[in-house]
Structure 1
Amino acid sequence: MSINSAMLAGVSGLVANSSALAAISDNIANVNTIAYKRNQVNFGDVVTAQSVQGLYSAGGVQGIPHAYISQQGLIQTAASPTDLAISGDGFFVATQKPTGLSPADAREFTRAGQFNVDASGFLVNDAGLYLQGWPAKSDGTFAIDPSDLSKLSSINVKNLGTAVQPTGNVGISANLDATETVSPSEATYTGAAGNSMADFAAGVAGGTQPDFTMDLNVVDSLGASHKIEIGFLKSSAAPNTWHAEIYAIPASDVDTAGPSGQIAIGDVAFNSDGSIDLADTTLFGAAGNPPVIDLAASGGAQPAWAANLGIAAQTVNLDLTNVTQQAEASTVNSVSNDGAGVGNIVGVQVDEHGVVSAIFDNSQIRKIAKVAIATFPDADGLKSVSGNAYQATLTAGPMVLKEPGNGGAGAIAPSSLEASTVDLSAEFTGLITTQRAYSASSKIITTADEMLQELIDMKR
């Protein structure tokens, strides 16, 4: 009968408003939870069939929970370099264990980016979820796959060993004095054993003293540093020309077929304006050869690193464009070198493209991994799980893995965190209206109860 339906409608109102209160309570409790997405219970009416003409049967109301997962929270600055936020669409991919992952292991998706480095070196957030990314290959690139979760692995920023950067490029800014007088020893100089500049550096009797030297430090494949010297002797054979030798100090660092430690020998030519003339320079072999120091691996074809060193072959490119011959004192202005000895990790950085890199105390930076961003056609359809995370559902649609900032995926905001989307003023207003609605629904029940009592009393 209609009175019973009215009472049941009141009961449905109590249930729906209880659900609304529960959602508001969760929101208020999580007002400071990183990347928390507010929930809301919307109301929908329930319509029942009207079987008797002229009578109305109440259907009541039902609560329809809705999670605003796709809503973007405010990005706030954080102190830690491993605190990450996503500015835009998408989620971090995370797992509940760092290693030994199989296709059966659940992958969870979260925007809670308060990642810290655990004792094993893995990036893990406060909920115990391990951040996943594409590992860096040896050439610094990444094997990006938009759908294969098995290509991802937990990002580890500690177990990297040490970093060594062998010298590959050296830039020299220097001047040779154009007014330098020709040394008396130049008349008998041949650069051969007994009168070479390399012999003089090695302390061999009869070696030729250079007019000027430039010192280079070369870092080898094991991180050790070696002194390589370029000696210059003014030539009398042609103007604007200097005899030159490249040799190691000590000479025992290299194996050569000629004088002790001598790596290369030839002439260096300059133009009439004082700039270097590499086209006519023979120090590096035939005239016009690029300025390169080539050393074979230890024990290899000479010149090579000494057999007892056990180091790899090395090619050092010399930038001599800033070497001049002017009428002023010979001097070395600067020497730049891209080599770095053994370094240990001292920090971690993440850029807006999601590239996680290790910083070493020898100023080297090594790429470790790239953070993967998962996107869904309907993010609000994801299933919420504990730890402020979500699991994929059919409602959410197919997942696609993207690079941060590409294909509609949000960019990474390093040293930042996403705030909760809860608005306290709106939630407290909802508390008031929900309480009033609950009270009103209870009045429906008491009123229907009184009417039923009147009906029962008619029998007396």
Structure 2
Amino acid sequence: MSINSAMLAGVSGLVANSSALAAISDNIANVNTTAYKRNQVDFATMVTSQAVKGEYSAGGVQGTSKQFVSQQGLIQSSSSSTSLAISGDGFFVVTTKGAGLAASDPREFTRAGAFAPDAAGYLVNDAGLYLQGWPVQPNGTFATDPSDLSKIGPINVKNLGAAVRQTSNLGISANLDQTTPVGAAAATYNKATKSMAAYAATGTGTPPDAPPMELSVVDSMGGTHKFALAFEKTATPNTWNAEIYAVPASDVLTTGPNGQIAAGLVKFNTDGSIDLANSTLFGAAGAPPTINLAASGGLAPAWAASLGIAAQPLSLDLSQFTQLAAATTVNSVTSNGAAVGNIVGVQVGTDGVVSALFDNSQVRKIAQVAIATFPNADGLQAVNGNAYMTAMPAGQMTLKTAGAGGAGKISPSSLEASTVDLSTEFTGLITTQKAYSASSKIITTADNMLTELINIIR
């Protein structure tokens, strides 16, 4: 009977609009949830076979839930350096635990990037999901893989120990006074027996013609040592005796006297610029300005055996040395070494590289955030914590680095807002309520008609 089909159509309308109301309720409740993606219930007609000529059988309506997972939310700034947003396609790979992660543990995917270190140092978001990434290799690179989830792990930003960087490059900008008179000691100077290094250590060698220039060198264990660069003017114009020696001399083992590491001539051109091609401080004329200190106990020059530290090549940039008619002065000394430092902060780049910042100005890479992409992100299966799991409609997952292969870039110190528009949702509430009332009116009307039909026999 067509009245019965009308009643069933009204019931289907109630069910479909109830689903629509539930979806709207979820959207409104999550308007401030980070990276929440709105849901929507779309309606589709149901058609029944019209078996009896001249009569119409109502089919009703069916509600189909639809996720807008791929819709980009507004990127908003955050005060936390570990809050992350993805600008573009992709998801953070997360797990429900940090330490003890096994290959069999499920991986989930989210764009909710409000990550912060937990008590153990792992980056975890508000839903308790741990951020995954490729750990840094010993050579400073990352062994990325597009499909192997076992190669990524939880990112820990605390248990890193201290940071040390041994000095490998020193740059010196200085001027030697061209008007310095040749002292009487210049005639007796001998780098092997009457050296400036000996004078610094015992007071019995040849004094330099200018205060020695101090150089700070950091070793492989973070210890700091002082080297000195001293000059003695010779009777030959534009030519100076020069020595590099350790203070104290006991820090190094050398073939020269009293910690002398290098000794020779430094020459200048007639315009006052340094003539490195004809200088012999580092060996033969034009030799690279490099000192190679062997490991403790090695062949000289080497670190003292008592120190127990590693070998250390040291390059000196003297290209900014001048000999002008002005006071002898050191303009600047630059070094790439850093003594022992402790972690003071974390930064994340747009490429997803997570780095630790130390109080000795060192930056150490920790990991690179993995970005997962899907051919059809709207087909993912939603789970608790504003996250998703893989599903057949979503297609095959691919892991990428941020900004590569179509993956979005990381926006550090940012969060993605929800995609809920309250004006749209409130309008939907009104129309859904009216549609629900109308469907209930169908049932009431069909009930009245059936009552009239029953009353015909009275």
TM range (shorter): over 0.9
Aligned-residue offset at 1:102: 2.6
Q: 1:319 aligns with which of 306, 317, 338?
A: 317
Structure 2 unaligned runs (5+)?
none
SS of residue paired to 1:401: strand
Match of 2:116 in 1: 116
1:275 aligns with 2:273: yes
Aligned-residue offset at 1:60: 0.3
Match of 1:218 in 2: 217
Deviations 1:357-382 (Å, cap 9, x if unpaired)?
Answer: 00000010101011111000100000
Supply the AA of the counterpart residue of 1:231.
Answer: A
Q: How does 1:10-25 map to 2 (within 5 A)?
A: 10-25=10-25
Distance 1:283 1:112 in 2: 60
Aligned identity (percent) is: 70
Deviations 1:282-319 (Å, cap 9, x if unpaired)?
Answer: 11011111111221111000011110000111111111
Match of 2:356 in 1: 358
Q: How does 1:182-221 map to 2 (within 5 A)?
A: 182-193=182-193, 195-205=194-204, 207-212=205-210, 213-221=212-220
1:437 aligns with 2:415: no
Q: How does 1:30-179 map to 2 (within 5 A)?
A: 30-179=30-179
Aligned-residue offset at 1:456: 1.1
Distance 2:172 2:349 in 1: 32
Deviations 1:297-350 (Å, cap 9, x if unpaired)?
Answer: 110000111100001111111111100111111111110111110000000011
Deviating beyond 4 angstroms after TM superposition, the runs of 4 or more aligned structure 1 residues are none
Deviations 1:177-199 (Å, cap 9, x if unpaired)?
Answer: 11111111111111113x11100
Structure 1 unaligned runs (5+)?
none
Match of 1:337 in 2: 335
Tell me the TM-score normalized by structure 1.
Answer: 0.98
Residues 184-193 or 350-359, more deviating: 184-193
Supply the AA of the counterpart residue of 1:272.
Answer: T
Q: How does 1:359-378 map to 2 (within 5 A)?
A: 359-378=357-376
Supply the AA of the counterpart residue of 1:359.
Answer: L
How many equivalent residue pairs? Answer: 457
Distance 1:450 1:299 in 2: 106
Match of 2:444 in 1: 446
Match of 1:257 in 2: 255
Distance 1:31 1:329 in 2: 70
Deviations 1:372-428 (Å, cap 9, x if unpaired)?
Answer: 110001000000000000001110000011111111111111111001111111111
Aligned-residue offset at 1:47: 0.6
SS of residue paired to 1:449: helix
Aligned-residue offset at 1:258: 2.2
Supply the AA of the counterpart residue of 1:37.
Answer: K
Distance 2:311 2:436 in 1: 81
SS of residue paired to 1:27: helix
Match of 1:417 in 2: 415
Aligned-residue offset at 1:40: 0.5
Deviations 1:261-301 (Å, cap 9, x if unpaired)?
Answer: 01011111111111111111111011111111221111000
SS of residue paired to 1:132: strand
Supply the AA of the counterpart residue of 2:349.
Answer: D
Match of 1:266 in 2: 264
Deviations 1:412-460 (Å, cap 9, x if unpaired)?
Answer: 1111100111111111110000000000000100111111111111122
Distance 1:229 1:401 in 2: 53
Match of 1:300 in 2: 298
Distance 1:140 1:411 in 2: 21
Distance 2:179 2:104 in 1: 78
Aligned-residue offset at 1:3: 0.7
Match of 2:453 in 1: 455
Residues 449-458 or 367-376, more deviating: 449-458
Supply the AA of the counterpart residue of 1:244.
Answer: A
Deviations 1:9-52 (Å, cap 9, x if unpaired)?
Answer: 00000000000000000011001100000000000000111111
1:227 aligns with 2:226: yes
SS of residue paired to 2:277: helix
Distance 1:319 1:257 in 2: 24
RMSD: 0.8
SS of residue paired to 1:442: helix
Supply the AA of the counterpart residue of 1:54.
Answer: G
Supply the AA of the counterpart residue of 1:159.
Answer: N
Aligned-residue offset at 1:204: 4.5
Distance 1:23 1:329 in 2: 80
Residues 254-263 or 357-366, more deviating: 254-263
Supply the AA of the counterpart residue of 1:410.
Answer: G
SS of residue paired to 2:392: coil
SS of residue paired to 1:312: coil
SS of residue paired to 2:7: helix
Deviations 1:183-233 (Å, cap 9, x if unpaired)?
Answer: 11111111113x11100010253x110112211000001111100001111
Supply the AA of the counterpart residue of 1:219.
Answer: V
Match of 2:399 in 1: 401
SS of residue paired to 2:250: helix
Distance 2:147 2:269 in 1: 60
SS of residue paired to 2:17: helix
SS of residue paired to 1:57: coil
Residues 444-453 or 94-103, more deviating: 94-103
SS of residue paired to 2:394: coil
SS of residue paired to 1:349: strand
